[in-house]
Each structure stands twice: as C-alpha cells, then as structure tokens.
Copies of this chain bind each other. A is one copy, B any other.
Amino acid sequence: MEFKSEKLNNGLAVIGELNKSAKSAAVGFFVKTGSRDETGRISGVSHFLEHMLFKGTEKLSALEVNEAFDRTGAQFNAFTSEENTVYYAAVLPEYLEEVTRLWAELMRPALRDDDFTIEKNVIKEEIAMYKDLPNFDVMERCRTLHFDGHPCGNSVLGTEESIDNLTAEQMRDYFGTRYAPNNMVLACAGDFDWDRICSLAAESCGKWPHKAVERKLDHDEGSKKKERIGKANLVREHICLMSAGVSAQDPRRFAASLLGMIIGDDVGSRFFWELVDNAVAESATMQFGAMDGTGAFCSYIRCSSENVTRVLDTVGAVFDHLAQNGVTKEELRTAKNKLLSALVIKNELPMGRLVDLGFNWIYLQEYLTTEDEIDAIKTVAVDDVHSLIEQFDPRNFTQFCLGPARDNQ
C-alpha cells in the first residue's frame, strides 16, 4: 500500500492509494460543493448539476457518454449531499485510465439549454417522489429546523419552485466557481499506474482555470425547536431528533460515531432494546454525521400514534441515563467491533476505500490509512464518550414529527 499526492498548478489535488494486490481500481472526482453552498434562489442547483454532467460535453452527446462507460464495463455513479458532489467508477485495472479520462471530460460539461429544460422535469419528479417518502421528508424537515438558517439546513433537492425558477445561466455561473480545480480532488484507489494518472490529469484538467471559492464554516448548536406537521395520508408517526456534535475535522468524531451506534444502531443498541425489541416503535435508529466545521446526531423513529408519548418518554429516559451514567465498557466494546468490521469490510474494496480517501482529503487534506482509522477507533475510552456526552448533551435536541393529520389540522 503506497500513498501518492500531487497538486496541479491550478490547484487540483490528485491523490492515490496504490494496492498492487487489488484486482480492481476505482477513481472519483470529489467536488467540495453541495446544498450548503447554495443561496435560496438557486436551491437544488448542485444536485441538478450532477444530473447535467451526464448529458455530455461540447464533443460528446449523452448517448456517447453512455456508450463510453459501457465499453469500459464500469460500475459507476454519482451523488450529491449537503457538502459534496462525488462522481466515481470501479473498473478492471486495465480500464482505469479510460474511465478517468472520461470523467475528466465530463467535469467540463456543455450545460446545454435544451438538456437543462428537459432535465428539469426529471428533477421535479425526483422531488415529488422523495416528498412521498415520510422517512426522508421528516429528516429533511428536521434538518432545516435544527440548522434554522445555517446553510447546513439547506435542502439537497431544492423545491419544485426553486427548480422552476432556476435558469441555465445561474447553473453555469454556479458551475464556474464551484467546479474550480482548486475546489476538487481527483482520487484513485486499488491497482493502477500513478504516473499515468498524473500525466492524464495534467493533460485533461491542467487548463481548468483556478477560481476564488470559499465556504463559511460555523459550528452550529441547533435550534432545539419542536414542530409537528400532520398529513392526511399517513398512518404512522415519523419522528426525527437532531442534536449538535463534533465536526469532520475533530479527532473526537470516532467517539461520536461509537456513541451514535451505542444509542441507535439497528440491532443491539439502547434504542433497539428499549423501543424496537419490545415493539414500542417499529424502527428507532441514531447516527452521527460529521460535517465540515460542525456535526449532528440524528435519530429516526417510526411508531403508531398511540405510542408517541411512550416513545418520547423512553427516549428521554435513555438520554437521562446516558447523561448521568455514561456508557458501559461492554457496550463500547461491542460498538467498536461493529464499527471496525464495517470500516474494514468497506475499505477492503478499492471502491469503498476511494470514498474514505477522498473525504479525508476534502475535510483534512490528510492521508489516513485504514490502520490509522482502526487505531483511532480502538483507542476511544469510556471517558472520551463521557466527556462528549457532557459537552453535547443529547437532551438538547431539535424535534420534528410527521404523522396523521389530527382533527384540529
């Protein structure tokens, strides 16, 4: 395993972890842009732009893009979050250069007016589809309520209205600064030739102009507001709770992930035993999410209307108990085992490894081996979790509920 990094003159970071015993190779462009970098007027533009990159370049039609991926046999996709837009592919080693060159071409898209107009409908259908998923909807609404004006509360998809009003010109402007090479990382993992990737990067990306680009990084403690919305078609109560946590740059992020797992892993967590195993709730999970400069714990619970009070009382009791007694050695050990095996298994595949590699560079400009991360998890002590609970009391949460409409609504 060998790590390499280089920076082009225009600021594009090129990094790679070589693993000659890997049977595949993965490549990704990590663009440090997402809904938190949008204003309300262009809400949803990052995600829309991700779609537009597949519509082709000045030289390639959408059809040719499709065929080009097909020829390499690539497993490829892209995703947009609040903070990042990531384009990735996994291939047999002999196709890595071809697929990297293809992605590099797509990073300078044509953004044609006609394609923009047609794709608007696809985006609006996606918004409508997600609005119909109460588990998704409640989390997004809770995030907006929790961050209450902080850009981390911005919606990734945007609204039907914001998409309707968006112009191709606004998208091209946004693209012009946010996709500047100095705001992107090109990462590779697995079995590949570093020198050839470097010359390919210089050749394909070296002329992209450097631009001034920034992001506001404020920590946010969350609004702690409580709200509920009723919807006629719902039969279950969907509850989302969010509270503040550490950032992606904070060394305590590993302790925070373990705490989230102890409280709300799918199976074997406090939520599991107190809420799911005894059928008080149908689902009850918590996850910690580290972000750029801030972070949050997010719980999702689904239950019947009759059980809402009991669920919230139980959650309160779980949080009180944690604030008073912390966690046990045994549950920390179990959480470590689960987190470690998930980490190791994901990172064993070049495609999985790529994601950690890229995000560590985006957030920390740092290379961490899988072993570094394993060590960081292993050394978390019960006391580390305690002081985290002390500083970020889980009882200080924002709450959003989505459930059946009541008579007074």
Using a Cβ–Cβ cut-off of 8 Å, how many residues does chain A contribute to the interface with B? 38
Q: Is the CB of B337 within 8 A of A72?
A: yes
A126 at the interface (CB under 8 A from B): no
A232 CB to closest chain B CB (Å) equals 19
Q: Is the CB of B341 within 8 A of A267?
A: no
A162 at the interface (CB under 8 A from B): no
A10 at the interface (CB under 8 A from B): no
Residues of chain B with a CB closer than 8 A to A334's CB: 70-71, 73
A95 at the interface (CB under 8 A from B): yes
Q: What separation, in Å, do the CA atoms of A344 and B22 have in the docked complex? A: 10
Q: Is the CB of A73 within 8 A of B349?
A: no
A342 at the interface (CB under 8 A from B): yes
Across the two chains, which residue of chain B brings its CB closest to A350? B348
A24 at the interface (CB under 8 A from B): yes
Q: What separation, in Å, do the CA atoms of A349 and B342 have in the docked complex? A: 13
A61 at the interface (CB under 8 A from B): no
Q: Is the CB of B341 within 8 A of A90?
A: yes
- Copies of this protein chain in the complex: 2
Across the two chains, which residue of chain B brings its CB closest to A70? B268
Residues of chain B with a CB closer than 8 A to A66's CB: 267-268
Given contacts A73-B334, A334-B70, A348-B349, contact A91 B268 (CB under 8 A): no
Q: Is the CB of A73 within 8 A of B341?
A: yes
A304 at the interface (CB under 8 A from B): no
Q: Is the CB of A21 within 8 A of B21?
A: yes
Across the two chains, which residue of chain B brings its CB closest to A21? B21
Q: Is the CB of B70 within 8 A of A347?
A: no
Q: What separation, in Å, do the CA atoms of A90 and B277 have in the docked complex? A: 24
Q: What separation, in Å, do the CA atoms of A195 and B203 have in the docked complex? A: 53
Which residues of A11-65 are within 8 A (CB) of B?
21-24, 63
Q: What separation, in Å, do the CA atoms of A73 and B24 have in the docked complex? A: 27
Q: Is the CB of A75 within 8 A of B23?
A: no
A4 at the interface (CB under 8 A from B): no
Residues of chain B with a CB closer than 8 A to A388's CB: none
Which of B71, B90, B338, B347 makes the CB contact (< 8 A) with A23?
A: B347
Which residues of A168-192 are within 8 A (CB) of B?
none
Q: Is the CB of B23 within 8 A of A370?
A: yes
A372 CB to closest chain B CB (Å) equals 14
Which residues of A57-93 are within 8 A (CB) of B?
63, 66-67, 69-75, 90-92
Given contacts A345-B90, A348-B349, contact A73 B337 (CB under 8 A): yes
A318 at the interface (CB under 8 A from B): no
Q: Is the CB of B341 within 8 A of A351?
A: no
Residues of chain B with a CB closer than 8 A to A198's CB: none
Which of B90, B268, B342 makes the CB contact (< 8 A) with A75?
A: B342
A340 at the interface (CB under 8 A from B): yes
Which of B91, B95, B341, B345 makes the CB contact (< 8 A) with A349?
A: B345
A226 CB to closest chain B CB (Å) equals 33
Residues of chain B with a CB closer than 8 A to A344's CB: 23-24, 92
Would you give the 0/1 interface string for A335-373, flagging 1 where the beta carbon is closer than 8 Å to chain B?
011111110110111110000000000000000001000
Given contacts A23-B347, A23-B348, A268-B66, contact A340 B75 (CB under 8 A): no
Q: What separation, in Å, do the CA atoms of A333 and B75 have in the docked complex? A: 16
Q: Is the CB of A337 within 8 A of B24?
A: no
Which of B23, B71, B267, B349 makes the CB contact (< 8 A) with A337?
A: B71
Q: What are the 3 A-B residue pairs with the smallest beta carbon separation, nearest first?
A: A73-B337, A70-B268, A73-B341
Given contacts A67-B268, A73-B336, A345-B349, 6 further A-B pairs with CB under 8 A are A21-B21, A24-B344, A71-B337, A73-B337, A91-B341, A92-B340
A-B contacts, 8 listed (Cβ < 8 Å): A23-B345, A24-B348, A70-B268, A73-B341, A75-B342, A90-B341, A91-B341, A349-B349
